[in-house]
Amino acid sequence: MTSRITFADLGLDAALLRAVTDTGYTHPTPIQQQAIPEVLAGHDLLAAAQTGTGKTAGFTLPVLHRLLQEPKRSKPGQPRCLILTPTRELAAQVEESVQTYGKHVPLTSLVMFGGVNINPQISALRKPVDILVATPGRLLDHVGQRTLDLSQIEILVLDEADRMLDMGFIHDIRKVLKLLPTQRQTLLFSATFSDEIRKLARGVLRDPREVSVARRNTAAESVQQSVHLVPQHLKRDALSHLIRRNDWQQVLVFTRTKHGANRLAEKLMKDGIGAAAIHGNKSQSARTRALSGFKNGEVSVLVATDIAARGLDIDQLPQVVNFELPNVPEDYVHRIGRTGRAGAEGAALSLVDKDEIKLLGAIEKLIKRPIDRLPMPAFDLSAPAPAAHSEPRPPRRAPRPRSGPAGTSDTPSSEGQRRRRSRGKRGGNAASADNHRPQAARAALLGR
């Protein structure tokens, strides 16, 4: 049932209420009802809610209000609020939300992430910026170049906080925390919080309040979840069949690896289905083009790694497919949360090989419900099973040191290094990329 509480009842500034009205919203979502008053009161906050329930506005609106109520002129390169996100796409969307709700107030914002030229960001920092939305790698690039000073931060927001505090980002986050004033307000928002992440969060927050509007680690009830049991070597043909049989015009497909995403997109295009891949080895311009084509209907299938699970907000996305289940159960919740947003209906289908049954069990344990097993619609089963794995995984790479500020990105490894590795892969196999690795790293990969 729709809440009768209005945004005006929450005590937000009139200019912000005007912007909310411009968007067509009148009633806050449950997470907004609970989170906004806590943020306005100045409390640190740990907030959990299912994806697609308005978490971004749940921190954007009260942050704008608090900065307005304490009129303090920001200085060039010294923002007052820092919002950190794990992916470039999510950073861009959060900053768009800041612009949307802050359009009637005299506050400025800037988004920065890797994969693009750093110089325009340096130029933008020469002007006062109140709210900075950033990915950790590029943020630390600017700190290293002394184009950014975080000593005046009043509010820190970690969006998709569970991802920001996992082992992939925690080292960069700790570096950032050391650069911030100890007296600040800290807000952690996410759809999922494992017990380990909650323990880490306690070290970041001071006497925090906690709000949660749904059972922990659950997907929206509006998402219909199902499973088809399909052998790995038949999955590509099975997906192609399902897309044509069901006439899916817009479907987001998740793979476990970048290599797998490329191969699947190529297979679908070969079958006459418009498809594009999006992952960390793609340039930012290629990622932007793929996402834009998917949103405007030029591409019907977007094949993505989990980079997209945290950064895509697509209106009325009807269908998500897990081509492969994620290794981390919480990532399943984020993946299927791309559909069924804002109360809309959605469907999430997983293609599960016998070797993934344990992963499926871990997901069902996390979400505390079984997922329906449905029979796979008949299709050509004549494709022979391969003698070896049909989807070989590229060898794991040894970590490489940062090459310099201009080449880092939103993940702990630098964007410049990723682009060089990507160039080594184009038109060749994984082995060709080994030529770009240091001799010691190649020897380590070969077990020497």
Domains of the chain: 7-212 (3.40.50.300), 223-373 (3.40.50.300), 405-445 (no CATH)
- Structure confidence at residue 287 as a pLDDT band (50, 70, 90): confident
pLDDT for position 219: 60
Q: What is the mean pLDDT of residues 313-332?
A: 86
**Over residues 44-52, mean pLDDT:** 82
Tokens at 237, concatenated: 């043909």
pLDDT at 48: 86
Query: Is residue 175 over pLDDT 80?
Result: yes
Using CA atoms of 251, 253, 258, 260 in order, give the dihedral in degrees to the nearest 10: -110
Model confidence pLDDT, tens digit, residues 358-396: 999 999 998 888 999 999 888 765 544 444 444 444 444
pLDDT at 236 over 90: yes
Give residue 292's pLDDT band: very low, low, confident or very high (50, 70, 90): confident
Whether the CB-CB separation of 213 and 281 falls below 8 Å is answered with no
User: What integer pLDDT is reported at residue 425 of this predicted model?
Assistant: 42
**Cα(302)–Cα(168) distance, rounded to whole angstroms?**
25
Any residues with CB less than 8 A from the CB of 427 and at least 6 apart, and which? Answer: none
pLDDT higher than threshold 80 for residue 316: no
Whole-structure pTM over 0.85, yes or no?
no
CA atoms within 13 A on the CB side of 100: 16
Residue 61 pLDDT > 80, yes or no? yes
Residue 366 CA, chain-centre distance (Å), reads 20
Give the mean pLDDT of 90-100.
92
Range name among 18-32, 49-63, 413-427 with the lowest pLDDT average: 413-427
> By the 8 A CB rule, do 180 and 153 touch?
yes
In the prediction, which pLDDT does 411 show?
43
User: How confident is the model over 394-408, as pLDDT tens digits?
Assistant: 444 444 443 333 333
What pLDDT sits at residue 336?
87
Decide if pLDDT at 192 tops 90. Answer: no
Query: Among the ranges 22-36, 125-139, 156-170, 334-348, which has the highest mean pLDDT value?
Result: 125-139
Residue 256 has pLDDT above 70, yes or no: yes
> Which residues on adjacent β-strands are paired with residue 45?
187, 209
- Checking if the pLDDT of 324 tops 60, the result is yes
How far is Cα 201 from Cα 192, in angstroms, rounded to an integer? 13
Place 276 in a pLDDT band, splitting at 50, 70 and 90: very high
Q: For residue 187, what is the enclosing H or E element?
A: strand 185-190
Q: Check pLDDT > 70 for residue 124.
A: yes
341 pLDDT band (50/70/90 cuts)? low
The DSSP element (H or E) to which 54 belongs, if any, is: none
Tokens 């029979």 locate to 375
Indicate the average pLDDT of the chain. 81
What was the pLDDT predicted at 379?
A: 74
pLDDT at 157: 96
The reported pLDDT for the residue numbered 315 is 67
pLDDT at residue 391, rounded to an integer? 45
> What confidence tier does 43 reach under pLDDT thresholds 50, 70, 90?
very high
Higher pLDDT, 140 or 198: 140
What residues contact residue 12 under an 8 Å CB cut-off, 6+ apart?
20, 36, 40, 61, 62, 65
| pLDDT tens figures, 405-435 | 333 344 444 434 443 444 444 444 333 333 3
**pLDDT, position 339:** 82
